[in-house]
Structure 1
Amino acid sequence: MTRYLFTSESVTEGHPDKICDQISDTILDAHLNQDPASRVAAEVVVNTGLVMVTGEISSNAKVDYAKLVRQKIAEIGYTDATNGFSANSCAVLVTLDEQSPDIAQGVNKALECRQGDNEDAWDAIGAGDQGIMFGYACKETPELMPLPISLAHRLARRLARVRKTGQLPYLRPDGKTQVTVAYEDGCPVGIDTILISTQHSEEASQSEIFQDLWLEVVEPIFADIDIKPDKQTRFLVNPTGKFVVGGPQGDSGLTGRKIIVDTYGGYSRHGGGAFSGKDPTKVDRSASYACRYIAKNIVAADLADKCEVQVSYAIGTAKPVSIFIETFGTGRLPAEELLALVKQNFELRPAGLIHTFNLRGLPQERGGRFYQDVAAYGHFGRTDLDLPWERLDKVAQLQEAIAVYTH
């Protein structure tokens, strides 16, 4: 029997890097809501009393960036200037350029169109950058996510909830969670360690925080989970002994610095590209969503117990350079047949991805906000949001194809 430990972390929406991700995606929402054809690459930096918005945006939308930034910061919970960072008192600097014309020409008209060998309208849009993207799914949880990141996100969301409802009034917005799961022969069997670091008021004692977090955060999130903490599980809370100075006052933040939190907690490979602040022509975002969609439908259709999908693109081209499917020895079909099945049933050109998931229209469809809501607590496996790339609408098609292959 092979036994090992695997750990994943999450962060709350008040973590400095996550503040930046959410502001970046709030800006994206604002532009797509007014002009669905907007090209957005918005990046944000935060530090004590300062927010800087930078990047490249080409859009017909009219956006009050300072107002948007302050509204999002207040929504997260930074409203008290004594904490070193507040919506009303922070400085907001905006330094934005338009998208490079060299990039725009390849996105506006893909290489396939420029060479005259395009097959249909979905060949028109070229990938906004080169790169590799991954997606993953497995049977460890009902949402087909790895258990460590699923638990870390649950803890982080619960930590934010008990702060916002006033259940634990001494909590502050910044926080991190981490869960170490014990595996035997590749299957999760126990909880080795739970770590929560949370910003708090000066008056709160560590013993009080320790007891409250166990009762109000840990126990509720494990209530409906078969694998639970036991007497051997370590529970660590604010291991430094104090976490009063937090948020941008305690550490600077930057868009795109929590890409592992955004995805699979390190359980699957990552191509390196961040999601937040990028419009759907950026395949870092849209193709990563597509890879998750493919992997999840494959696992849900019982073609494999675990599945990782990789695609790659060249900037300015519509069709992927390569597609790779890995099932880690759990596949029900030969690798070449599974790959052929994916190519037959899933669209991977940028224009096709935008159409399949309605990636340009989601903010308008959902009251002016969408991407900012996935910018914290993970882009995958969300049970609190109806995400188009989480849908299992290809399962029946895949199962029909299996019947053909196996007979």
Structure 2
Amino acid sequence: QSNDIAQGVDHASDDHLNTGAGDQGLMFGYACDETPELMPAPIYYAHRLVERQAQLRKDGRLPFLRPDAKSQVTMRYVDGKPHSIDTVVLSTQHHPDQSETQTKMKASFTEAIIEEIIKPVLPKEWLQNTRYLINPTGRFVIGGPQGDCGLTGRKIIVDTYGGACPHGGGAFSGKDPTKVDRSAAYAARYVAKNIVAAGLARQCQIQVAYAIGVAEPMNITVYTEGTGVVSDERLAALVREHFDLRPKGIIQMLDLLRPIYEKTAAYGHFGREEPEFSWEKTDKAAALRAAAGL
């Protein structure tokens, strides 16, 4: 970063809690009660599908798979709750012998993907008239860096919450925790997850905004879409009382100066019970619930 920027943000490793934000911008965090991990069901299961693809490739059960893969889960909702899965899209790189033609996969390939990857992952009761699109463009032999020119900064929605929550636009990967694009988004997830875990709302979206060189957030807004047991304004006040959302405060609160980021490169930054992911803890839930008078 330039010297002009550094003069306002270069105290991340000392005890100066008023270190300014590394840039302006707004960040979002989200949680809901659709899954035990308090994540939206579509993105949660999309990640589990590609994890399963990697597992079966690595352990040799589906030896024709190759590393590149992507997934998408489209769900039907009834009264705001997941009801069933409408469509599953799974595209996976494969050995050349798995395609009959340039645009058509072997039936055995499609069956293996559905039976060995998709059905073991998705809840059986949600598979009602579900449509499966497996390698819908056909042959997928060229993948990875040979097929696409980089990912950093490009896949920001699959890194977060899918279509359930807005995104401020700032990517995470490659940024140290003085950059609020990353650290404040992690903190916003931490806040939202603790609010839902406390039973204060069934879904919660947190928005924070920063100005470059200024430590305190410009605003902290809570949206619960009518699912909160106290008002959104009261929740915002509780957030200010219980969470330090200054950049240095976030770094200390979540212990972000550790070498913990490699695992975030695939399968999402949120909704995973990894020991390094301090923003997934719900250790503030009891205090929030008590402060709300519940």
2:3 to 83, 87, 101: 101
Mapping of 1:148-297 within 5 angstroms?
148-205=42-99, 206=105, 207-222=107-122, 225=123, 227-230=125-128, 232-297=129-194
Give distance in 1, aligned partners of 2:11 and 2:114.
55
Alignment check: 8 A CA contact 1:109 1:316 kept? no
TM-superposed deviation, 1:155: 0.2
SS, match of residue 214 in structure 1? helix
TM-superposed deviation, 1:158: 0.5
1:378 to 253, 265, 268: 268
SS, match of residue 195 in structure 1? strand
Residues 260-317 of structure 1: CA deviation (Å, up to 9, x unaligned): 0000012101000000010000000000000000000001111111100000001111
Quick check: 1:324 aligned with 2:221?
yes
SS, match of residue 119 in structure 2? helix
Give distance in 2, aligned partners of 1:278 and 1:121.
20
Residues 39-90 of structure 1: CA deviation (Å, up to 9, x unaligned): xxxxxxxxxxxxxxxxxxxxxxxxxxxxxxxxxxxxxxxxxxxxxxxxxxxx
Alignment check: 8 A CA contact 1:153 1:378 kept? yes
Alignment check: 8 A CA contact 1:134 1:310 kept? yes
- Matched to 1:203, the amino acid is D
Quick check: 1:353 aligned with 2:250?
yes
- Matched to 1:215, the amino acid is E
Alignment check: 8 A CA contact 1:192 1:234 kept? yes
Quick check: 1:133 aligned with 2:133?
no
TM-superposed deviation, 1:386: 4.4
Alignment check: 8 A CA contact 1:191 1:227 kept? no
Residues 118-146 of structure 1: CA deviation (Å, up to 9, x unaligned): xx8311x1111110000000000000000
TM-score, normalised by the number of residues in structure 1: 0.68
Residues 154-188 of structure 1: CA deviation (Å, up to 9, x unaligned): 00111111111121111111111111111111111
TM-superposed deviation, 1:226: 6.2
Give the number of the structure whose alpha-carbon radius of gyration is greater: 1
TM-score, normalised by the number of residues in structure 2: 0.93
Give distance in 1, aligned partners of 2:85 and 2:11.
51
- Matched to 1:178, the amino acid is Q
Give distance in 1, aligned partners of 2:173 and 2:143.
22
1:303 to 184, 195, 200: 200
Alignment check: 8 A CA contact 2:222 2:233 kept? no
- Matched to 1:221, the amino acid is V
Give distance in 2, aligned partners of 1:261 and 1:126.
29
- Matched to 1:214, the amino acid is I
Specify whether residues 243 and 229 from structure 1 end up closer, same or farther in structure 2 by C-alpha distance, changes over 3 A only. same
- Matched to 1:324, the amino acid is T
The match for 1:400 is 290
RMSD of aligned alpha carbons: 1.6
Report % sequence identity.
58
Stretches of structure 2 that go unaligned for 5 or more consecutive residues are 100-104
TM-superposed deviation, 1:354: 0.7
